[in-house]
Structure 1
Amino acid sequence: MSAQTAPSDGSPQPAARTTPLVEVHRELGGTLVDFAGYLMPLRYGSETAEHHAVRASAGIFDISHMGEIFVTGSQAPQALDHALVGLPSGLDPGRARYTMIVTPDGGVIDDLIVYRLSGHGFLVVANAANAAVVAAELTERAAGFDAVVSDESDKYALIAVQGPKAQEIVQRLTQTDLPALKYYALVSGVVAGHQAFIGRTGYTGEDGFELFVAAEDAEPVWRALTEAGGADLTPCGLSARDTLRLEAGMPLYGHELTRDTTPYDAGLGRVVRLEKPDFVGREALAAIAEAGPAHRLVGLVARGRRVPRAGYTVIGDDGEPCGTVTSGAPSPTLGRPVAMASVRVDARPAAVDIRGKHEEVDVVDLPFYHREHRPAGGADQVSAHQNKRTNK
């Protein structure tokens, strides 16, 4: 079964797609919602409890809505160097890199993780809503290279196990030497008797793994993981995933990143490799790098309890609007509302307009949370790093 909603003109929308784990989510009592065209679990019970489980032990997520796009051929490295802002050709086999694909004027089409599988083989992981667009763009940009782009998203399921106990749990089901697997690395292995790509990557701010398995293997692998994890492994939905990535200062496409923003606007200019002689968007990005972006991404911590939500206006210390909140939520780890916001580079944010009232905020360094600075004194304790006011 799948969800179907009616748009404002009264005509039916296409039914939301399901992942290979949809029946598992129903068994677990998950609240299913249409997200990026997929029926996905928002939560199973308490989203706050799910969030804390990942910070304290481990959580398991279905992220099979993400796109898996393979690029192969003798000139696949050069094709990706041309198509993306990064330098995939510089990756060693088994390593991964965060990068982006941009428009000719530098706007972000999507942020990606690129894994090098072999000398000439790559796996590009795209966000669900953008997978088809990314595959089409890569195909067009690879024309003229000896490279083949293949969108194999429907053939794969993707399961994430994240948290301090993630390694211990996954290791029970594989002979792969997980302690030897570096961060942002990938290895082919067997998990619970099923072939998998095991990546030491994630979107929570915790250590963990993302397991690429055949769609038909998703359910037995999930069940084996939950049995191996027992009380230490909690099924988690989209709500917990969002608050976890927000605390970790990780951007979300459609919020911190859009076609109207560049990597430099989001404070991610470090992923742009301008030393490459040519790639799509290079001229525009080089000009922005030289002149400086018009906006910057900042972290905000509310002094009160009202939450600065996405779309709310940020107010400068001169009392005038200076930007917009891109993501905001109560932080279960810090015990107070936090937000990321895009503001003018010359602005000094002081408040957020929340339904007509200016609620005071502090500007802090991102990320709000880092596992090396895990609070030890309860939810209201914020480390000196997390609460450092920048006000720049």
Structure 2
Amino acid sequence: MTESLKRTALFDSYKNYGGKTIDFGGWELPVQFTSIKAEHEAVRTKAGLFDVSHMGEILVSGAGALSYLQKIVTNDVSKLKDGQAQYTVMCYEDGGSVDDLLIYKRGTNDYLLVVNASNIEKDLEWMKKFATPDVVIEDKSADYALIALQGPAAESVLQKLTDEVLADIKFFRFKDNVVIAGHTVLVSRTGYTGEDGFEIYGSPEAIVALWPEILKAGESEGVVPAGLGARDTLRFEAGLPLYGQELTKDISPLETGLGFVVKVNKEEDFNGKEVLISQKENGIPRKLVGIEMIDKGIPRTGYKVFLGEEEIGEVTTGTQSPTLKKNIGFALLNREHTELGTEVEVEIRTKRLKAILIATPFYKRS
């Protein structure tokens, strides 16, 4: 592994738990600690602890912060109350996606944006293009580390380390200045796995100290450190998009099924609004659907999908689902060929293998 790769504050902790690292968008991050399947299963049934400190944190403040955000994201930021989080997308003028992100409202004209690691520089450059004099945009990524405790046991484990009543923090809500094991952090009830859980933001020093404390507190309940491999299979089963695969500069949020974060009726014009209105009114050109293999084979990113002799799209993500024990995938297909139950073929190496279009998400927690 080259020295030029970026490392999170937790890098030195990985080896204590057997972490195997890979290059992930220029970061040296753990793909697994034991096995992807074991870590995946732990999150579905108990809990797993992830290092996601590579994510970017951008503060947007100033008197014009709200009106500015309304013009650069698709969701309606005016609906946010203090202590609430919101999922949204930034679009280009042609409706393609700059990035998907979370917005945390910390107070009046005080917002924390959490963006994808590989997009930090691009997002900042894009955001600054539209900044007005009454808005302050600050890259605070270096000031934060971030861990995610995900799974059915997440609340009971984290509760052992704090006097804060975690049950009071509802889904897509957060609380700042929470003391956990003596360290003051921001605790958000959000995640990227399809399970209940928390994302914990704090100084790099605080997060490095909390990592072993949380694992120790959860040892009796089966909590394990988990890597990027399980994070990907978990989010995929839960139907959550990954930027660079289900969302790109060439894929609109409507095409990937994120219509619920595209508020074309809000007063403010935002980048891509006209194109997205047209897509809503006239129909999207392509649609993201689920596929399940009938023949033996795993659909992988970039594999072509055919209906008869016509190429109708391609796989964006695919794997053998650890939970469902089936070979499944997301495919972005021409809209007219996306009826559920349609039988298609996926080109795997030199063979075309049968698959069927199915509903997503593949997995929903009870």
TM range (shorter): over 0.9
In the TM superposition, residue 259 of structure 1 has moved relative to its aligned partner by: 0.2
Residues in 2 aligned to 1:304 and 1:170: alpha-carbon distance in whole angstroms: 44
Q: Which one-letter code corresponds to 1:161 in the other structure?
A: L
Counterpart for residue 270 of structure 1: 260
Shift of residue 142 of structure 1?
2.2
Aligned to 1:299: 290
1:122-133 correspondence to structure 2 within 5 Å: 122-133=111-122
- The alignment yields a C-alpha RMSD, in angstroms, of 1.3
1-side partners of 2:240 and 2:315: how far apart? Answer: 14
Shift of 1:94: 0.6
Within-5 A mapping of 1:130-141: 130-141=119-130
C-alpha contact (below 8 Å) 2:290/2:329 kept by paired residues: yes
2:11 is aligned with 1:22: yes
Unaligned ranges ≥5, structure 1: 5-14, 373-392
Q: What stretches of structure 2 of length at least 5 have no aligned partner?
A: none
Q: How far did residue 305 of structure 1 move?
A: 3.7
Corresponding position of 2:91: 102
Q: Is the 8 A contact 2:292 2:355 kept in 1?
A: yes
1:221 aligns with 2:210: yes
Q: Which moved more, 1:86-95 or 1:322-331?
A: 86-95
The farther-off stretch of 185-194 and 160-169 is: 185-194
Question: Which among 28, 35, 40 is matched to residue 29 of structure 2?
Answer: 40
Question: What is residue 332 of structure 1 aligned with on the other side?
Answer: 322
- Secondary structure at 1:343 match in 2: strand
- Of residues 349-358 and 291-300 in structure 1, the stretch that sits farther from structure 2 once superposed is 349-358
Shift of 1:46: 1.1
Matched, 1:311 2:305: no
Percent identity (aligned): 40
Query: Could you tell me which residue of structure 2 aligns to residue 246 of structure 1?
Result: 236
> Secondary structure at the residue paired with 2:264?
coil
What's the CA shift for 1:190? Answer: 1.2
Q: Deviations for 1:277-323, whole angstroms, at most 9, x for unmatched residues? A: 3112212222222221110000111124410000001122x342211
Q: Hey, what does 2:138 align to over in structure 1? A: 150
Asked if 1:64 is matched to 2:72, the reply is no
Distance 1:219 1:97 in 2: 27
Secondary structure of 1:284's match? helix
- Contact 1:322 1:349 (C-alpha < 8 Å) held by counterparts: no
Aligned to 2:271: 280
For the residue of structure 1 that corresponds to 2:202, the secondary structure is strand
Are 1:205 and 1:248, in contact at CA under 8 Å, matched by a contact in 2? yes
Residue of 324, 344, 347 corresponding to 2:334: 344
Aligned-partner Cα distance in 2 for 1:162–1:301: 27
How far apart are residue 40 of structure 1 and its match? Answer: 0.3
Amino acid at match of 1:50: E
User: How does the TM-score come out when normalised to structure 2?
Assistant: 0.95
- Using the TM superposition, give the Cα deviation of residue 106 of structure 1 relative to its aligned residue in structure 2, in angstroms: 1.0
What do the CA deviations read for 1:151-204 (whole angstroms, capped 9, x no partner)? Answer: 100110000000000001111111221111111111111111111110000000
Determine if contact 1:200/1:208 at 8 Å carries over to the other structure: yes
1:16 CA drift (Å): 0.8
SS at match of 1:18: coil
Identify if the C-alpha distance between structure 1 residues 106 and 349 changes in structure 2 by more than 3 Å, giving closer, same or farther.
farther
Deviation at 1:356, TM superposition (A): 2.1
Residue 152 of structure 2: SS of its match in structure 1?
coil
Deviates more, 1:93-102 or 1:26-35: 26-35
Q: Do structure 1's residue 363 and structure 2's residue 357 form an aligned pair?
A: yes
Give the aligned length: 359
Contact 1:161 1:209 in 2 (8 A): yes
Whether the aligned pair in 1 keeps the contact of 2:343 and 2:354 (CA below 8 Å) is no
| One-letter code aligned to 1:314 | V
> How far apart are the structure 1 equivalents of 2:197 and 2:295?
33
Q: How does 1:178-193 map to 2 (within 5 A)?
A: 178-188=166-176, 189-193=178-182
> Quick check: 2:293–2:327 contact (8 Å CA) kept in 1?
yes
Are residue 204 (structure 1) and residue 193 (structure 2) matched? yes
1:260 aligns with 2:259: no
State the AA in 2 paired with 1:332.
Answer: P
**Worse-superposed segment, 132-141 or 41-50:** 132-141
In the aligned structure 2, how far is the partner of 1:209 from the partner of 1:124? 17
1:173–1:192 CA contact under 8 A, matched in 2: yes
Q: For 2:218, what is the secondary structure of its paired residue? A: helix
Deviation at 1:349, TM superposition (A): 4.8
